Structure 1
Amino acid sequence: MRTCLTRRCVLLAMPLLASPLAWAHGFRAGDLRVDHPYALPTRPGLSTGAVYFRGIRNTGASADRLLSATTPVAAGVEIHQMQMQGEVMRMRAVPALELPAGATVPLRHGSPDGHHLMLRDLKAPLRDGDRFPVTLTFERAGVLEVMVWVQTPRGPSDKAEREHAH
């Protein structure tokens, strides 16, 4: 009986394992691996949001660059760099994000010296559990559409993100 139940569980799970939703939340374009795109729920009244990634890994021998991004949930998307200047967090748009060969570039929330994608003029608030597409354009790897999951932050950087309102 136990073997039969185990086989039944495996057979029932097989379609789920083949489903893209069951795979790790990562995407691939050429030598680039985009790991876990996510956004935070937006606060009421805000028209901006941000998209982050656990990282963009360049497994190739040549550098690449993220040139731009678009999404149907916002009027525009900018690549932003954050930097601590003394005790003040400064944020500015940059023309591209460098992706060195053989390196992983993190774009994590709460990072004092990092990058993210700024969503301008959101068409609706981002709510926990939502999903939406973002199209990334790379210099060498071309165009890649990723699915972004909106999730409430967890971990030690939560406080930093709550204090950093977009």
Structure 2
Amino acid sequence: MNSPLATSRFAQRCKQLALGVALIGVAFQVSAQTRVDDAWVRATVAGQPSSGAFMTLTASSDSKLLSVQSPVAKVVQIHQSSMKDDVMKMQQVDSVALPAGKAVSFDPHGYHIMLMDLTGQIKEGDHVPLTLTLEDAKGEKETIEVQAVAKPIGTMDHSKMMHDHSKMN
């Protein structure tokens, strides 16, 4: 038979276990250095050679986005769009600074990810895997796996932009 003392000890152990599990969950959240929000890719038409990936990145400490990989494209580059002499230009960049606690937007009008030499059509609703590699101020690298949803968009057609494939510094 269970005595009141044994029942009390069991209840205390359950509370300790629950607290321990909760603390482990907090530890995992703290170890996540960068948050990715609203990741999406522009859907393509059959035969279209490239697309763009967009998202918002918020790093918990000063970091930078170094590279992105995806199995849907043979070439993946980080680009920056800019307006010069009334012409929208797009250039590859080596990395993008992610200041601690500040959301950095990757959108069609600024920094974005170019998916080039696509391996097939990206259809609306597809989930496109992206692997982001980041580095913090201490030189520690972090890899984040993202599933970006393919959405149609009519705002900016990258094929009509002037591409300068030299890198911006």
TM-score of the pair, normalised by structure 1? 0.70
Bigger Rg over Cα: 2
1:106 is paired with a residue whose SS is: strand
Output one character per residue of 1:52-90: Cα deviation in whole Å (capped at 9) or x when no partner. 11x1112x2x31001011111111210000001121110
- Counterparts of 1:1-166 in structure 2, within 5 Å, are 30-53=32-55, 55-58=56-59, 60=60, 62-109=61-108, 111=109, 114-140=110-136, 142-153=142-153, 158=154, 160-161=155-156, 163-165=157-159
C-alpha distance in structure 2 between counterparts of 1:101 and 1:138, whole Å: 13
Aligned residues: 127
1:139 is paired with a residue whose SS is: strand
C-alpha distance in structure 2 between counterparts of 1:66 and 1:96, whole Å: 5
The 8 Å contact of residues 47 and 120 in structure 2, kept in 1 or not, is answered as: no
Q: How far 1:43 sits from its partner (Å)? A: 3.5
The 8 Å contact of residues 79 and 113 in structure 2, kept in 1 or not, is answered as: yes
C-alpha distance in structure 1 between counterparts of 2:78 and 2:111, whole Å: 7
The 8 Å contact of residues 46 and 120 in structure 2, kept in 1 or not, is answered as: no
Alignment CA distance shift 1:77-1:90 (3 Å): same
1:129 is paired with a residue whose SS is: coil
Flag structure 1 segments of 5+ consecutive residues without an equivalent.
1-27
Alignment CA distance shift 1:29-1:36 (3 Å): farther
Q: How far 1:45 sits from its partner (Å)? A: 3.1
State the AA in 1 paired with 2:37.
D
Q: How far 1:29 sits from its partner (Å)? A: 7.0
TM-score of the pair, normalised by structure 2? 0.69
The 8 Å contact of residues 29 and 143 in structure 1, kept in 2 or not, is answered as: no
C-alpha distance in structure 1 between counterparts of 2:159 and 2:43, whole Å: 11
State the AA in 2 paired with 1:102.
G
The 8 Å contact of residues 29 and 142 in structure 1, kept in 2 or not, is answered as: no
Q: How far 1:51 sits from its partner (Å)? A: 0.4
1:37 is paired with a residue whose SS is: strand
C-alpha distance in structure 1 between counterparts of 2:135 and 2:64, whole Å: 5
Flag structure 2 segments of 5+ consecutive residues without an equivalent.
1-29, 161-169
In the other structure, the counterpart of 2:4 is none
State the AA in 1 paired with 2:62.
A
The 8 Å contact of residues 34 and 57 in structure 2, kept in 1 or not, is answered as: yes
